[in-house]
Chain A
């Protein structure tokens, strides 16, 4: 049913339709509205047969989900930012144990400096933890990806993160088609665990594993993700057939046919990128874009097929791998092995810095003129950087960087929206 709802509410309703039996919640902005919505549905009986547990930390949230999933019930939690770092040890543990937990990430920057706004530093920090990572472009896709995520996770016995841009999606009110319970039930069968803590058939889980077997166990995690490369498009196709709309898949191309320049990005910024592509196309520029949905597993072949005909690729990343630059770019470059094609990394939108269509159009124009460097920073204020560097040169005790810059700008953190 089409409704005008907040992104978090749409995700909460989609998760509820998946009939989870244990949900554990710890508040962290901007994910909190999701578990609040679920908690209300459990408490008022709309989500029956589900245990909703308020825990004392993110580490406990995922640990509770590990226990409940190992005991054979569908388990869900959500987090963001510092929260996923605080639970990092359990993130690896859940995938190592092969527990099909689904977790929403309301993508947010990581401090210091503390910042509640959107970028992808949080989920990127755990990109190699053995979880499948799917990035939503719209609130509709955010809702739909959760339904697909439970099916994918449980088929493979592998946990899945659904990454939803904080505030931009989680707090935005948009029209979302919330499917019916019957539709979801027909798509998502009941959870049949491959391993379960059962008193009538005792097993030991989480044993100590030495050099004789650890390698194989770890390899099999990789093998699951390789199988996911096949299953993700199949599940998206089945979803489209049943629900009548495209959501998910490995990646989506936009006007890439005959494109000389192709922009690759994850998540909600693809909406703005498509606007910029349209504007460039209207000017006769051959530009296209690729929305990468599945970052783990990384679809090397599909990416190669999408980009192989272009002259240059611009990877727009909402995460700075300090000391090297881009993270998504590495995967894109790997996918293009042997293909001579100019590649540019653009770091953008850190800590919620707005990525505007104007900036993107300007960026694409520079790309078309071959003016981009290997590594670029979109709308980075060089004057601010220079002032701080000047302070550091002038005085040993130059003081705390973030506070210095805020003072320069005359801004407070809460009101900081650099124009």
Chain B
């Protein structure tokens, strides 16, 4: 199925109930026979957005391919919490090699599948933002540039969570991390740094780039379903809150993710061959404060004397996204 055309909004939320759809149009996650590719029993924290995102994405890919998926995992939370030897949560062929080489290992798996005449087997590389936007960036760009037949999925929780919440190039301005402390004249992460890997992916003119959020399951599944069928290099960047690193309530993961989207701070869009082809329109953008105040990593912006100047700068970023991506 594609994303439903008629929108049924429930009171106070933007989610649509599966019960309003025919059975064959329901989310993969709503299916009793979903593969649970990342099975229960793993050791992620309560409310882990990455665990949700990975299960959503890989289950959707399995559903779309008739269970013919091989995954290559970068070092990081997802790798560590899913495979403490001799246990594994993965119900699919899965390999972890190193922190910075997931895209290249996946290129190798894809080349082997080509050599074996197994084009039906689809290859996914996955990693966190550190493994994608920082240490794995060279291999990622190489995979894009060669247009290797790999779907790379980045689960972006905006810092190095596995090592204890250090800044990455995906950490937003003002955010407190273990290496961007909330002290001094400019507490938290600096403004004007970081990189937007979805846009960089588009600059490689690869066939498909998308962003998605764990707050919008149906959109995420649909993008994986589309991406997995395309030949060549594809990139999906999924925004996944980290309760531990962000200082948000585990029960608020979906809410936090939704506020990131609805504020315009995390634009949700699709691009084909380097051109944006669809975007998630904001019906009524929420102020960035609604997103930020849910997270202790931004606590230094609030309190008795709110840092209105910094909040205004962050609001300006959201507004710029809304303008640039026509959200």
Q: Mark B59-103, 1 if CB is under 8 A from A, else 0.
A: 000000001111011000001100111101011111111101100
- State whether A71 touches B98 (Cβ < 8 A): no
Q: Is the interface of B mostly helix, strand, loop or mixed?
A: mixed
Which one of A60, A90, A198 lies within 8 Å of B138 (CB-CB)?
Answer: A60
Instruction: State A75–B109 Cα separation when bound (angstroms).
Output: 11
Q: How far is the CA of A209 from the CA of B87 in the complex (A)?
A: 10
Contact for A197 among B95, B114, B115, B139, CB less than 8 A = B95
- B164 an interface residue at 8 Å Cβ cutoff? no
Is there an interface contact between A60 and B101, defined as CB atoms closer than 8 Å?
A: yes
B79 CB, nearest partner CB in chain A, Å: 7
Q: Known contacts being A53-B107, A207-B83, A207-B85, is A199 close to B70, with CB within 8 Å?
A: yes
Smallest CB separation, A215 vs chain B (Å): 13
Q: A60-B139, A207-B83, A207-B84 in contact; A93/B112 too (CB < 8 A)?
A: no
Most chain A CB inside 10 Å of its own CB: which residue of B96, B109, B110: B109
A2 and B97 CA atoms in complex are apart in Å by 42
Q: Is the CB of B97 within 8 A of A199?
A: no
A199 touching B72, Cβ below 8 Å? no
- Answer whether residue A24 sits at the interface, using C-beta atoms and an 8 A cutoff: yes
Q: Is A97 an interface residue (CB 8 A)?
A: yes
B121 at the interface (CB under 8 A from A): yes
Interface assignment of A244: CB less than 8 Å from any CB of chain B: no
B112 touches A67 (CB 8 A): yes
Q: Is the C-beta of A21 less than 8 angstroms from some C-beta in chain B?
A: yes
Instruction: Give every chain A residue within 8 A of B33 (Cβ-Cβ).
Output: none
Do residues B83 and A208 form an inter-chain contact, with CB atoms below 8 A?
yes
Q: Does B106 reach chain A (CB closer than 8 Å)?
A: yes
Task: Give min CB distance, B109 to chain A, whole Å.
Answer: 4
Q: How far is the CB of A20 from chain B (nearest CB, A)?
A: 9
Binary B-proximity of A65-100 (CB < 8 A = 1, otherwise 0) = 111111111010000000000000110010001000
Residues of B within 8 A of A206 (CB): 73, 79, 83, 95-97
- Output the nearest chain A residue to B148 by Cβ-Cβ distance: A53
Contacts of B69 in A (CB 8 A): 199
Chain A min CB distance to B39 (Å): 11
Question: B141 at interface (Cβ–Cβ under 8 A)?
Answer: yes
Instruction: Give the residues from 132 to 167 in chain B that come closer than 8 angstroms, CB to CB, to chain A.
Output: 138-139, 141-142, 145-146, 148
Q: How large is the interface on B (under 10, 10 to 19, 20 to 34, 35 or more residues)?
A: 35 or more
Decide if A64 touches B97 in the complex (CB within 8 Å): no
- Decide: A59 near B72, CB < 8 A? Known: A51-B115, A64-B107, A205-B96: no
CB-contacts of A74-133 with B (<8 A): 75, 89-90, 93, 97
A-facing mask of B237-268, CB < 8 A → 1, else 0?
A: 00000000000000000000000000000000
Q: Residue A386 at the B interface, CB < 8 A?
A: no
CA distance A146 to B92 in the complex (A): 34
Say yes or no: B83 contacts A68, CB within 8 Å: no
Is there an interface contact between B90 and A204, defined as CB atoms closer than 8 Å? yes
Instruction: Tell me, yes or no, whether A390 is within 8 Å of chain B by CB.
Output: no
Residues of A within 8 A of B80 (CB): 208
B105 within 8 A of A: yes
Given A56-B139, A199-B69, A205-B95, answer yes or no on A67-B85 (Cβ-Cβ < 8 Å).
no
Q: Are B108 and A97 neighbours in the complex by a CB distance under 8 Å?
A: no
* A4 proximal to B (CB < 8 A): no
Query: In the complex, how many angstroms separate the beta carbon of A94 from the nearest chain B beta carbon?
Result: 8
Q: Indicate if A153 sits at the interface (CB-CB under 8 A).
A: no
Residue of A nearest to B80 (CB): A208
Would A22 and B85 count as touching, CB distance under 8 A?
no
Distance in Å from the Cβ of A57 to the closest Cβ of chain B? 6
Chain B residues within 8 Å of A70, by CB: 95, 105, 108-109
Contact across chains for A89 and B98 when beta carbons are under 8 A apart: yes
Q: Is the CB of B86 within 8 A of A24?
A: no
Q: Which of A63, A72, A207 contacts B112 (CB 8 A)?
A: A72
Contact in complex: B108, A202 (CB < 8 Å)? no
CA distance A403 to B97 in the complex (A): 41
Cβ of B116 within 8 Å of any chain A Cβ, yes or no, is yes
Q: B82: shortest Cβ distance to chain A, in Å? A: 8
Roughly how many angstroms separate A201 CA and B68 CA in the complex, as a whole number?
A: 11
Q: Does the CB pair A204–B146 fall under 8 Å?
A: no
Are the C-beta atoms of A68 and B111 separated by less than 8 Å? yes
Shortest beta-carbon distance from A218 to chain B in Å:
13
A207 touches B96 (CB 8 A): yes
User: Judging by beta carbons under 8 Å apart, are B83 and A63 in contact?
Assistant: no
Query: How near does chain A come to B120, taking the closest CB pair, in angstroms?
Result: 9
- A271 lies within 8 A of chain B by Cβ: no
Establish whether residues A65 and B108, one from each chain, have CB atoms under 8 Å apart when the complex forms: yes
Give the nearest-CB partner of B37 in chain A: A202
B92 touches A202 (CB 8 A): yes
Verify B94–A56 contact, CB threshold 8 A.
no
Determine whether B236 belongs to the interface, using a CB cutoff of 8 Å to chain A. no
Q: Which residues of B contact A63 (CB under 8 A)?
A: 97-98, 101, 104-105, 107-108, 139
- Cα–Cα, bound, A213→B84 (Å): 11
B101 touches A59 (CB 8 A): yes
A362 nearest CB across to chain B (Å) = 48
The listed residue (B73, B83, B110, B145) touching A56 by CB distance below 8 A is B145
* A16 on interface, CB distance cutoff 8 Å: no
User: Is A67 touching B106 in the complex (CB atoms < 8 A)?
Assistant: yes
- Give Cα A67 to B219, complex, Å: 30
- Interface residue ranges of A193-242 to B (CB < 8 Å): 197-199, 201-210, 213
Chain A positions within 8 Å of B141 at CB level: 56
Q: If A63-B105, A67-B72, A204-B90 touch, does A22 touch B115 (CB 8 Å cutoff)?
A: yes
Cβ of A399 under 8 Å from chain B: no
- Cα–Cα distance between A22 and B109 once the two chains are bound (Å): 10
How far, in Å, is B111 (CB) from chain A's closest CB? 4
Point out the residue from A60, A71, A202 that lies within 8 Å of B91, measured CB to CB. A202
* B113 CB–A CB distance under 8 Å: yes
On chain B, the residues within 8 Å of A56 by CB distance are: 138-139, 141-142, 145
Q: Which residues of A contact B70 (CB under 8 A)?
A: 71, 197, 199
Q: Say whether A197 contacts B93, CB under 8 Å.
A: yes
Point out the residues of chain A lying under 8 angstroms from B97, CB to CB.
Answer: 63, 66-67, 90, 93, 97, 206
A to B CB contacts below 8 Å, 5 in the list: A50-B115, A53-B148, A57-B138, A63-B108, A202-B92
Q: Which 10 A-B pairs have the closest CB atoms?
A: A67-B108, A71-B112, A56-B142, A206-B96, A63-B104, A63-B101, A67-B105, A64-B108, A68-B108, A204-B88
Name B residues whose Cβ lies closer than 8 Å to a Cβ of A. 67-70, 72-73, 79-80, 83-86, 88, 90-98, 100-101, 104-116, 121, 138-139, 141-142, 145-146, 148
